[in-house]
Each structure stands twice: as C-alpha cells, then as structure tokens.
Structure 1
Amino acid sequence: MLSRADDFPIHQTPEPIAVSGTDRNFYDRYFFSAQAPDGGAVVGVALGVYPHLNIIDCAVSVLHAGQQHSLFASRVLGGERMDLRVGPVTLEVLEPLQKLRLSIAPNETGIAGELIFTGRAAPILEPRFIRRNGTRTLMDVTRMTQGGQWSGQVSAAGASHDLTGWRGTRDRSWGVRPIGAPDAQAVQPPTPPQFFWLWTPTAFDDWLLFFHSNDDEHGRPWNRAGVLVRLKDGAEFPLEDPRMALAFRPGSRHAGAARLEARLQDGRPVTVDFRIGDNFMMRGIGYGHPIRGHGMFQGPDVLAHEVIDLAGVDPANPMNAHVQGLAEAQLSIAGAPPLAGRGLFEQLAIGPHAPSGFRELFDLAA
C-alpha cells in the first residue's frame, strides 16, 4: 500500500512506509506535557500511530482545580502515517527536533486551543528499551526526550489558560510494546506480571534533568540512565550510578517525596530532592484505560470526554497505579546552593519490587 510518505526519502526497509516490519504491536507515538509556573495546571497529550492495527488515536487532558478533563479521539488510519489529524486534533511538526504545534478545534468536549512547543535544547536519546517475557518480546523501543517551553492557549471546563511561561517535556518513542487488544494466548510457562518504572523530566532555569529507571523485582535496573543538560550550550553531562530513594504515601504505590543521588563523570556529586504534589492520572491520556487505551479499536471515527475528580481517586485501584506526580525539585551540583525547578515524577509499579517493600501484584505501602 503506497501513501504520501513514500514520496520522501525516509524508507528503512524494502517495503512501503505503511508497513512496519511484521509485529502487530509496532507503534509510533508523541507525548507532551505542559505545566504552569506555579504547578496550578498541567496539560498532557498522547498521540499514537499504530500502522498494523490501522488506527491513530489521541488524548488531551487538562488538570486544574482538582479535576482532570480529557478529550479522547480515535479513527481508522487508512495507511497514511503522516496524516496526524484525529477528530478535532491536528499535530504539525513545524521544525523537526525543535518546534511542534498542536491545534484543537472547538468541539463538544469543551477542550480546545493551540499549543506550540519549542525545545530549550536538543532532544536526548535514551538507551534502547528491550524486555522479554520468556521468549516473547514485551518491549523493543527507542525514545528521545526533550525539555521545552510553551506558547499559545488551551481551554477546558470553561477555564482558559495562557501558556506563556509554561515549561514542560515531550518525547517521541517508536518500536514494539503492548497496544490494542491483549494477546489471547498467554506466554508459556506463565510469567507473573512485574513492571517498575520511574521517569523524572525536570526543568530548571539553567539545566534540564532527565532520569529514568526500569527495575526487576529485586530492584536491579534493566534500563536506567540519567543526564543533566546545560542550557547555555546544550552540553550533556551523564550521571554515574544514579539511585533514587522513594518515600511512599501510605496505602498507595505513589511516592510523595524522593531523592536522587548520583555523580558526574569527574566525580562531583549531584543530588535532586523532589516534593510531589497532585498526581496527573495517566489513564486520562489513555495509558491503561480499559476502553480508550492506546491502539484499541473504538470505531471508525470516535470523540469522547471524561472527567476524573482527584478527590475521588482510589490509589488501591490498579487502574490508578500509573501517575505523573507534579513535582517541585531542588538540584545541587557539587554541594553548591540548590536550584529550584519543576517537573514530572512518573511512576508505575506492578508486582514485586524489593527496595519499595512490594511483594505481591498490587500490595500497598504501609
């Protein structure tokens, strides 16, 4: 099947661009987060293309005043992977690796606006994520992450937000991960579910911090990396032996505070202390959503609206396990006075994780 993308010199296999190898779980996704300077409002966006499922979907969610309003849109892709329109949402790459625009036309959900992301530094490339359950590939993913600033405006629930001065993060990931309907045939022998994930993109006036960790049940990382990006020249400073200590909120798997300790390659110590406030619920942009999940067929052209009241969220419900905590941060390099910043503290803990005291599928912190 030929598409408009085939007229660009971007092929990486002998096949048309509409085809991405043979794994039905191949995906290509954009993620964005925008946060007000005082942390009083946050916008999250996920837009994904699923070539072999022939679906494109998008979710835009605005958290403000204790409520998270979400727009969900999905349609049949028709093989055109460069047509990034779904429902009222259109994504445009204005300047590759630097500037993108998300337009949301007025619609029945009440969420609308124009949001423009501009990178504060070049994206970083994270280590490739490869994870298998027995002989079956669970993840084989490449991801780039970029800190940026926002302009434009967005409205939701009758409130309009001017994005001037807002900072945030975007990422682009592509490869293989579970999407759409679950596999009907389980791995043999059965593999108990286990997945532990932390991600802490954080913006400071002069620095960007990126840290992530995927751990096994013993707390051993199978993918962990950290880097500081100096904004005045874009220089990257990898963090050696980064380790995160978590203080969990009782009755949950969500941290309320954390400390990252590492060192630069020249031996100077780096510490980052996080104080975590409200949680942005990731199901509000499709992650783990039972109906609006990424790549799930919802109909040929669907638009939906949902509201999450944070006061009513049950942290013991597994559907609420995946969150991005809105975090204030204090960065200290080589013992210098701490620098204040703000970012996300993403967490997902399924199954055992010895350092956190978790022994079962969804037991909670004492």
Structure 2
Amino acid sequence: MEVQVLQLEDTFHDPLVAPGTPDLPERFFDRFMFNLHPTDATAPSVIMGAGVYPVRDVTDGFAVVTTATEQRNLRFSTELSALSPAAAGSVGPLSWTVLEPNRSWRLRLADNPIGLGCDITWRARTEAWHGGVEVRNADGVPSTFDHLFQSGTYTGTITIDGVRTDVAGWYGQRDRSRGVRTMAGGQGLHLWYQAQFPEYCVGFLHVEDRTGGRLLLEGAVLHTSGEVDDIVDVRHDLTFGPGLDLETGRVRVTTASGAVLDIDGDARAGGGWMAGAGYGGHHGKPCGVDHLEYDVYPLDGSVSPATVDSALTDRLTAFTCDGVAGTGILEFAHSRSRSYTYRPSLV
C-alpha cells in the first residue's frame, strides 16, 4: 500500500454533494461527523454524522451518546430518491444546515428511541486543516478522498431522557471526507487525535502498518489565533488494557515550525465504540426507505474493541500538555490480527 498526502486549495466545498450530481464513481461518498463534549472531559460525549452515496441512491447517518454508565447507538438510512426537496439536508431524525461554509453548521436531532435530542450550532474556533489522500492499494483499486477537520465550540441545547442541558462553550471537532475510500487490510495502529486546549487544538491522523511502519500522517496544530502549524512527526507510547482498549498514553508531536509537544492522555472514561455508529463497513449499504435501528452498550467491561464488529473507538479523553489541561476525542484502533503487536515509538 502506497499513501500520499496532497495539499488542496485554501477552500473546501462544505455542503454535501447534491443528489443527481453527474459523473461520480460508483463508490463515491460525502460524509460529515461532529463530536460534542464538555471542556472538562466529563460525560456526556455525543457524536453525530451523516453521509450521501449518490450512485448507490443511499443516505445514512448516526447518533451516539456515551453517559457515565452506557453508550446508546442510533443508526438510520433511506434512499436518496425517496427524499422530497423539502427534506434535503436530513436523514431520519437528523437534519443539518451549513450556515456559513467552513465556519458554522446547525444540527438538529428529533425524537428517537435512544432519548437524545439536540438543537445546536457549531462555530469554528480555528482554521481548518484539509488535504487530499491518495492510497494505491495492493489490489490495484485506488482510494482518493479529500479530508478536513476543524475545532469549534457550540451553542444551543441537548436533551437526554427529557433533561435539557445548555452546551454553550462545549468543545467539538468536525470531520469532513469526500471521494472514494477503499482501505486495504494490513493496518496495525490507527490514531485520529483531537486534543483541544484553550488556545489551540492538536489534530492529526496517523496510521501504521503491522510492522510499525508509517502509512499516513496528516494534520496540524490549529491555533485560535489563526495559525496552522503542520505536524511533521508523531511518536507514541500507549497503554492498552483488556480487549485492546486504550487506557493512557503519551504522544510527542513535532511541527513544521520546530515546536515539540508532549501530550499525556487519560482515555479510561469508556465508550465511544464506533461500531454503534455503523462503522465497520456498514455505511452506504442500501437498507431501503426509512430504516432505523438502535442498541445499547453497557460500560461494565462486557463491551470492548475486541467484541464489536469494528475496533474503531472515539474516546472522550482528558489531555495535559506542559501543565495545561485539555480535552477531546482520541480515536484509535488497535489491529485484532494476531500478526500485530503494539510497539511504542516514543522511547
């Protein structure tokens, strides 16, 4: 597998592509994801997202909330052709509006079986990092997709089991990806790291093969002042517990300007298993009109990255860098293959 990161222009077309857009590849997708959490790394942690797959005539989405005791998962899908013009920008109970491209989105989640609702507005607090990723897979089928992430804060309210909470000032990272993505096997470690601090966010995607070799590194330190300092190196020393679940760890980040950041993370809060959001190969699969399903994962040790159908986990994490406390989402996946053993690169 050969991976190349391609810098894009300074602008990104933020709205999702419209149904009926011509000349798209069969596996084309356009997706977004937002996370939402208090600034002190306490529950709840909320993750919502949706995507369109025009050639497959599919649009789907998800909402996940992790409380102090459980993770509740909601997944929904329908046919794009079944949506009326008035329903554009929605799927199932989730609807979205791009208020200002690359600066502000509104998200609403209507009544649903997991008891989570919201009417929130995300506003950027940093510039976005975006680039293009080109993956030449061993099977000869290329993956080419655009990728963007950006730090922000929220206003509005969320409701859990009828209890409404004002989320003004809560942190949130958004992620956008668009193109054709067919990732081949052979990955050992995956990290999508979003550590938010009062004056900056450390955001990167780092992927290694099963020998510890780097397949992909993209990202930057995004400052609230507007500076974007590209990340050129990442080293890690992580601790995985039972079920391949990340517990704690240190990451050393080096930037293009020469800054070196040692960041400690405590990821023992639990939850965030993205199998509950349909990851693991379910996105974009036709399920008919108005499909909806839900389930609950208890935080009692019975669920782990080793027991669900995808090891990918978006964990609410408390971070510390140079004595400054931060919080954010640490997305990780430790390969379940017996051919892989985690080895720290920070020594």
Cα distance, 1:174–1:192 mapped onto 2, change above 3 Å: closer
1:165-204 pair list within 5 angstroms: 165-178=169-182, 193-194=186-187, 196-204=189-197
Whether the 8 Å contact between 1:35 and 1:41 is mirrored in structure 2 is: yes
Structure 1 residue 62, shift from structure 2 partner? 1.3
Cα distance, 1:74–1:165 mapped onto 2, change above 3 Å: same
Structure 1 residue 262, shift from structure 2 partner? 3.1
Counterpart of 2:316? 326
Structure 1 residue 226, shift from structure 2 partner? 3.8
Name which one, 1 or 2, has greater alpha-carbon Rg.
1
Whether the 8 Å contact between 1:59 and 1:285 is mirrored in structure 2 is: yes
> Given the alignment, which residue of 328, 333, 340 partners 1:348?
333
> Given the alignment, which residue of 233, 242, 263 partners 2:254?
263
Alpha-carbon separation, structure 1, partners of 2:199 and 2:53: 37
Alpha-carbon separation, structure 2, partners of 1:195 and 1:24: 28
Cα distance, 1:21–1:219 mapped onto 2, change above 3 Å: farther
Counterpart of 2:299? 310
- Superimposed CA distance per residue, residues 149-187 of structure 1 (whole angstroms, 9 cap, x where no aligned partner): 0111122334433212210100110011259xxxxxxxx
1:185-224 pair list within 5 angstroms: 193-194=186-187, 196-224=189-217
1:1-366 pair list within 5 angstroms: 18-19=20-21, 21=23, 23-38=25-40, 39-78=42-81, 83-137=88-142, 139-178=143-182, 193-194=186-187, 196-231=189-224, 233-249=225-241, 251-277=242-268, 278-288=270-280, 293-311=282-300, 312-319=302-309, 321-332=311-322, 338-350=323-335, 351=337, 356=342
Structure 1 residue 328, shift from structure 2 partner? 1.0
Q: TM-score, normalised by structure 2?
A: 0.84
Cα distance, 1:90–1:269 mapped onto 2, change above 3 Å: closer
Cα distance, 1:218–1:154 mapped onto 2, change above 3 Å: same
Structure 2 letter corresponding to 1:301: D
The structure showing larger relative contact order (alpha-carbon pairs under 8 Å, at least 6 residues apart) is: 2
* Secondary structure in 1 matching 2:63: strand
Give the superposed CA RMSD: 2.7
Alpha-carbon separation, structure 2, partners of 1:305 and 1:195: 30
Alpha-carbon separation, structure 2, partners of 1:87 and 1:268: 44
Q: TM-score, normalised by structure 1?
A: 0.80
Cα distance, 1:213–1:33 mapped onto 2, change above 3 Å: same
Whether the 8 Å contact between 1:68 and 1:309 is mirrored in structure 2 is: yes
Structure 1 residue 123, shift from structure 2 partner? 1.1
Alpha-carbon separation, structure 2, partners of 1:323 and 1:346: 5
Q: Tell me how many residue pairs correspond in the alignment.
A: 322
* Secondary structure in 2 matching 1:140: strand
* Secondary structure in 1 matching 2:276: helix
- Superimposed CA distance per residue, residues 316-357 of structure 1 (whole angstroms, 9 cap, x where no aligned partner): 32525111121111123xxxxx22100111112333675615
Structure 2 letter corresponding to 1:316: A
Sequence identity, in percent? 26
Whether the 8 Å contact between 2:146 and 2:177 is mirrored in structure 1 is: yes
Structure 1 residue 127, shift from structure 2 partner? 4.8
Structure 1 range deviating more: 220-229 or 154-163: 154-163
Specify every segment of 5 or more residues in structure 2 that has no aligned partner in the other structure, as ranges: 1-12
Structure 2 letter corresponding to 1:272: I
Structure 2 letter corresponding to 1:115: I
* Secondary structure in 1 matching 2:244: coil
